[in-house]
């Protein structure tokens, strides 16, 4: 049986796998995940097969005479693999200790509340877009609701983030997150993150952080600034009895209101959700030593957890910053 974390430089090589259990399978090596090896028999890579790990009698033959498949080639793969091997032991030790101090009931409560809030915010945005209850107190009620959700979003995030700080996880992410962000996301972002967000959004967050690193201290400042906007936001909704001479604002102003407040709130919830979900996954890291990445490689579970939490907090920071700077 071959091992997890096969040399990443081998990706795109033509291989032949043989054993009594699987017989013989040949194709382009797409990647390796904890469950087995991914092989594509055709050059178009449309048919990708999972060859599960079998007995010790399994053998693998590398056809080095064939050129590496151009769509599967990874530049500097060996370099990044070496960096991950060097980082993994330190990430494992510090992350495991931090996660062991987390309150998982709190994470569960956040997930339950955030799911309902995301749907409610989207529903109210739809109401504004369609002009439902647009005039008079109906509109005020809708905008007032959105204002309240912005306030609740920041409060929910603060609860989760404070647990990250108290456990030491925020410090761990601040130390290792920027280093992991310098490695191509396909090597580090777990495939299960695609259940929360699409690949483009996940990779964009990490890539943007290479110039502006996330730090715990700056995150605290952004959170405080966002919370300080509450009074202004509630005033902007026009809550209270309107004057008889007032006319309802244009629909374009309502849309702008949502883009300024509702959109960033959804980003805060999504980023916090990504971070919280991966912390929960870290609880089982001792049972799953490695996880599959979006690039069909395998990395130690705690490396994937730290990458995901860092990615989520970058997105939260972006949402907080948008709320905090709104005029």
Q: In angstroms, how far is CA 6 from the centroid of its own chain?
A: 25
Alpha carbons 258 and 107: distance in angstroms, whole number: 27
- Cβ partners under 8 Å of residue 97, min gap 6: 168
**Cα-based distances in Å from 273 to 2, 62, 195:** 35, 42, 11
pLDDT at res. 313: 96
Annotation: CATH topology of 8-63: SH3 type barrels. (2.30.30)
Q: Which three-class secondary structure state does DSSP give residue 307? A: helix
The whole-number pLDDT of residue 171 equals 96
Supply the mean pLDDT for the chain. Answer: 81
Cα(115)–Cα(295) distance, rounded to whole angstroms?
Answer: 28
pLDDT tens string 208-226: 898 888 999 999 999 998 8
Helix (H) or strand (E) holding 266: helix 263-282
Nearest CA among 27, 24, 29 for reference residue 9: 29
Low-confidence ranges of the chain (pLDDT < 70): 1-7, 54-57, 123-146, 230-260, 285-288, 326-327
Structure tokens at 119: 């749907």
CB 172 within 8 A of CB 95: yes
pLDDT one-digit tens code per residue, 3-29:
434 567 788 999 998 877 778 899 999
Q: Where are the domains of the chain?
A: 8-63, 77-325
Q: With beta carbons less than 8 A apart as the criterion, state whether 1 and 11 touch.
A: no
Angle at CA of residue 195, ends 288 and 76, nearest 5°: 65
Per the document, the length of the chain is: 327
Spatial contact of 313 and 206, defined as CB atoms under 8 Å apart: no
The candidate with the shortest Cα–Cα distance to 293, out of 176, 169, 199, 173, is 199
């Amino acid at each position: 049986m071959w091992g997890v974390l096969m040399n990443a430089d081998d990706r795109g090589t033509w291989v032949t796998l043989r054993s009594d259990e699987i017989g013989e399978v040949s194709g382009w090596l797409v990647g390796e995940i904890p469950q087995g090896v991914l092989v594509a028999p055709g050059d178009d890579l449309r048919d990708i097969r999972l060859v599960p790990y079998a007995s010790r009698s399994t053998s693998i033959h590398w056809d080095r005479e064939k050129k590496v498949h151009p769509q599967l080639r990874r530049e500097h793969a060996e370099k990044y693999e070496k960096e991950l091997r060097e980082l993994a032991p330190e990430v494992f030790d510090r992350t495991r200790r931090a996660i062991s101090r987390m309150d998982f009931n709190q994470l569960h409560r956040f997930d339950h509340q955030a799911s309902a809030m995301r749907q409610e915010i989207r529903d109210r945005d739809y109401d504004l877009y369609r002009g439902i209850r647009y005039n008079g107190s109906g509109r005020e009620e809708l905008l007032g609701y959105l204002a309240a959700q912005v306030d609740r979003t920041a409060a929910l995030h603060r609860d989760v983030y404070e647990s990250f700080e108290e456990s030491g996880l925020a410090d761990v992410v601040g130390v290792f997150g920027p280093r992991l962000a310098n490695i191509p996301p396909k090597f580090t972002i777990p495939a299960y993150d695609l259940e929360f967000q699409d690949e483009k959004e996940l990779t964009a967050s990490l890539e943007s952080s290479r110039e502006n690193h996330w730090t715990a201290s700056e995150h605290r400042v952004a959170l405080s600034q966002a919370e300080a906007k509450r009074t202004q936001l509630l005033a902007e909704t026009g809550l209270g009895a309107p004057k008889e001479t007032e006319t309802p604002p244009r629909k374009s102003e309502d849309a702008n209101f949502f883009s300024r407040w509702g959109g960033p709130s959804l980003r805060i919830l999504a980023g916090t959700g990504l971070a919280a979900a991966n912390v929960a996954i870290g609880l089982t890291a001792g049972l799953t030593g490695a996880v599959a990445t979006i690039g069909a490689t395998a990395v130690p579970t705690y490396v994937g957890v730290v990458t995901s939490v860092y990615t989520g907090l970058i997105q939260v920071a972006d949402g907080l910053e948008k709320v905090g700077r709104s005029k």
